[in-house]
Structure 1
Amino acid sequence: MSEARKTASDGGVATHRESPTGLDLDRLGDWLAAEYPGMVVGELTASLITGGKSNLTYELADSVQRWIVRRPPLGTVMATAHDMRREYTMAEALEGTDVPVPRMVAYCDDKDVLGADFYIMERIEGVPYRYADEIIPLGEARTRAISIELVRTLAKLHRVDPGRVGLADFGRPEGFLGRQVKRWKTQLDASFTRELPGADELYAKLVAAVPSESASGIVHGDFRLDNVLMGADDLPAAVIDWEMATLGDPLLDLALMLTYQRRARVVAGRESTDPATYDATLAPGYLSEEEIMALYEAESGRALRGFGFHLGLACFKLAGISEGVRYRHINRQTVGAGFEDSGSTVPLLLELGLESLKEYK
């Protein structure tokens, strides 16, 4: 599935007289003036940051500062998948830990302002590597180092004690995996526009294979290379996009990260395109799946027993996410470019999910 690159210029610059879709600058400016007097200096401008396929992200600026604004997508969505309060609370709780996160600035649950709740955070300088041509110029050694730091950052997150950072009641770890199976089946049903062979079979096999016990910790929900801003020193400057964060089995984060990589590898093998346009995880030097798993085990202290179930569930989850994006695109509820191929790899993901269940017993 092709995706638009993340750039700050793609939405165009807006003023109080011309706001980007989903971000009314007049209303936002009035709210900030009332709730945070003196925060804004001069006129506000904004641009849509494209690349993500879920929540909408904008760069907001006045005459001296820049921030990032996040709000849910347009149209009807699953509230649990686009919870701004959840994102804000998680990132705020992780400030002060060794997991790099942006500083949270403001949260608003008054839907009269933008039509949905939203939050504002500091803008972090960093690169969200997505395509091979963005990372290949760094060379194999730096690419390898970046992928190592990505895995180490995930392990750092999974070592955080939720209770020590005020997140003891943030989610319900008990029964997490079973609820995830049902949740993504609900998402697929709610996004129905076509028959998806294998979806019911994968769902049934996942239901039958849910582990009676699983690990517990903080789950990012969509951990991958382009959801981590890499600094000029090739170290993670900030982990972003916490919209699906919760407490549950952290191994699902690892499984989803590997599923993105598996999908990219299969798609690259099927298409006759320039290797530079492949996913960044296919760049020379990037850690292999086996290396990632071994490093994660060493850094996190977590064993990967029964990991085939997590991989199968990750495929099912990503299929649900992708089909939801496709549904919103068909119903003209998306903003920006790059949605034309949304959902194109859902059949592949369902195939990969059925195969993954046979692995790592």
Structure 2
Amino acid sequence: MTGEEYDDATTEDERDDSATGTGHATDDDSATDDGHATDAERDYFERLVDRPALRDYLADRLGDADEFAVSHHAEGHSNETLFVTWGDRELVVRRPPPGETADTAHDVLREYRVMDALQDTAVPLPGTVLACEDHSVVGSDFYVMERVEGDVLRHAEPDRFGTPAARQRVGEELVDTLAAVHAVDYEAVGLGEFGRPEGYTRRQVERWTKQLEWAFERTADERTVPKLREVGDWLAEECPTDHERTLVHGDYKLDNVLFAPGAPPELAAVFDWEMATLGDPLADLGWMLSYWRDPGDPDPATPELTATFMAAEGYPTRRELVERYERATGIEYENDRFYRALAVYKLAALGEMFYRRYLEGNSDDPMYPKMEHRVPDLARRAERIIDGDEPL
């Protein structure tokens, strides 16, 4: 798929510990990693993977293995993650969720393409293994990558990072790696046709508005969110007319990276590239900042998705992260209200898409029904950013 055909990445976010060191499978044919799945969980697992077909596929391409085990890693809320033991190798399979999705959502082969292209760059990544378009294997496109051991800082920091110096380094590693993503020579790595960087930011506003409208087709029967439409109108009016052109990750934040075992903190892998394209690097920075917590911030609109531990002593503030990014890249972070409001608008659109999937019975994720109330909360947060009530 070319960048022109795809336009910009508009896939659903997010939130997967795609190759963490947790959740190893222990049983050759188990549907879950603990053997205590409910009937609904087992049914959903069976929709995700045909284990004999996957075994045959891997054997044909990687050679036979004495041990084969599969488990569902249920921490993510968008593309699905399966942990696979194949002999002495620990692998990860990424596939879309079952059921109807919006437009180009969940393009895992696009995710694979960018990860494969970046293997020899300064961006830390899991090793890529295989990509498959044959839906007879698991019922969808999917890809296979190596599993990376370490910690994803989703809800809390590991004890070894519980000092001011380590906390500061976590923030520095996070922003330095984002700078490395934006420094990639995308032409040289074969991604010159990966997207259309000119006009990216305006198309983001238009595309996420379109995604919202797709979700509203169903969710408006339950409740409406008029404030979100007002935010979308403001973004359309205030959208920057020009911007830098780089590779963008599209979902870059603290819980989409993994830190290696040991200390001091070392960022070992960046995950969840499904929204990567060529575009405006400040959209990436605004997204990362929208998840970062400073002391004194209001309670998060989406507590299920927003950690608060980085308000502890030692973590850099949002402004300090911006200053480090500007020094590393030479790119000035202008229009902060726009970029952070756009980030919250995108998250609200994703939440509304999740809510539609829940209403249509296409997900067993317990977070999805909460979007009935979380999305209106996000709309109010975007409004606060626009009004200057949540400053950088």
Deviation at 1:249, TM superposition (A): 0.3
Report the Cα offset of residue 227 of structure 1: 0.5
Structure 2 residue matching 1:107: 3-state secondary structure: strand
Where does residue 274 of structure 1 map in the other structure? none
1:287 pairs, out of 311, 316, 319, with 316
Query: Is the counterpart of residue 255 in structure 1 residue 286 in structure 2?
Result: yes
- The answer for the alignment partner of 1:187 in structure 2 is 211
Shift of 1:15: 3.2
Task: Give the Cα separation in 2 of the matches to 1:285 and 1:324.
Answer: 36
- Counterpart amino acid of 2:138? L
1:330 CA displacement: 3.1
Q: Which amino acid aligns with 2:361?
A: R
Matching residue within 357, 367, 370 for 1:328: 357
Structure 1 residues 226, 72: CA separation in 2 closer, same or farther (over 3 Å shift)?
A: same
Q: Which residue does 1:175 correspond to in 2?
A: 199
Corresponding letter in the other structure for 1:346: V
| 8 Å CA contact 1:132, 1:283 repeated in 2 | no
Cα distance change of structure 1 residues 81 and 191 upon mapping to structure 2, 3 Å threshold? same
Q: Are the counterparts in 2 of residues 206 and 309 from structure 1 also a CA contact under 8 Å? A: yes
* Contact 1:129/1:280 (8 A) holds in 2: no
Match of 1:266 among 282, 295, 298: 298
CA contact (8 A) 2:301 2:377 kept: no
Question: Matches of 1:225 and 1:65 in 2, distance apart?
Answer: 27
* 1:9-88 paired onto structure 2 within 5 Å: 15-16=28-29, 20-21=45-46, 22-34=48-60, 36-38=61-63, 40-88=64-112
Q: CA deviation at 1:341?
A: 2.9
Local SS of the residue matching 2:104: helix
Look up the SS of the partner of 1:81 in the other structure.
coil
Give the equivalent residue in structure 2 for 1:123: 147
Distance 1:63 1:343, change over 3 A: farther
2:269 corresponding residue in structure 1: 238
Cα distance change, pair 223–309 in 1 and its aligned pair in 2 (3 A): same
Paired amino acid for 1:266: P
Paired amino acid for 2:376: P
More displaced, 111-120 or 124-133?
Answer: 124-133
Q: Which range is displaced more, 197-206 or 245-254?
A: 197-206
Displacement of 1:267 = 2.2
- Return 5+ residue gaps in structure 2 as ranges: 1-14, 32-41
Instruction: Tell me which of 342, 346, 352 is aligned to 1:313.
Output: 342
Task: Tell me the residue number matched to 2:166.
Answer: 142
> 2:26 and 2:169 mapped to 1: Cα distance?
36
Relative distance call for 1:9 and 1:101 in structure 2 (3 A) is closer
1:252–1:310 Cα contact (<8 Å) kept? yes
CA distance in 2, matches of 1:13, 1:79: 37
Amino acid at match of 2:272: D
Going from structure 1 to structure 2, the CA distance change for 1:279 and 1:47 (only over 3 Å counts) comes to: farther
Greater shift, 148-157 or 130-139, is seen at 130-139
Q: Is the 8 A contact 1:144 1:286 kept in 2?
A: yes
After alignment, is 314-323 or 332-341 more displaced?
332-341
> Could you tell me how far 1:215 is from its partner in structure 2?
1.4
Instruction: Identify if the C-alpha distance between structure 1 residues 337 and 263 changes in structure 2 by more than 3 Å, giving closer, same or farther.
Output: farther
Q: CA deviation at 1:289?
A: 1.0
Letter in 2 for 1:195: T
Aligned to 1:200: 229
Shift of 1:348: 2.8
SS at match of 1:266: coil
Q: Which moved more, 1:68-77 or 1:17-26?
A: 17-26
Where 2:326 maps in the other structure, the secondary structure is helix
Once the 2 structures are TM-superposed, how far is the Cα of residue 263 of structure 1 from its aligned partner? Answer: 10
Q: What do residues 231-250 of structure 1 show as CA deviations (whole Å, max 9, x unaligned)?
A: 12411110011111111101
Cα distance in 2 between the residues matched to 1:269 and 1:327 = 19
Give the CA deviation at 1:128. 0.7
The CA deviation string for residues 23-63 of structure 1, in whole angstroms up to 9 with x for no partner, is 221111112233x151x412421111122110001110023
Structure 1: runs of 5 or more not aligned: 272-276
Determine if the alignment matches structure 1 residue 298 to structure 2 residue 327: yes
% of aligned pairs identical? 36
Of 115, 120, 127 in structure 2, the residue corresponding to residue 96 of structure 1 is 120
**CA–CA separation in structure 2 for the residues paired with 1:308 and 1:65:** 46
> Would the alpha carbon gap of residues 61 and 354 (structure 1) be closer, same or farther in structure 2, given more than 3 Å must change?
same
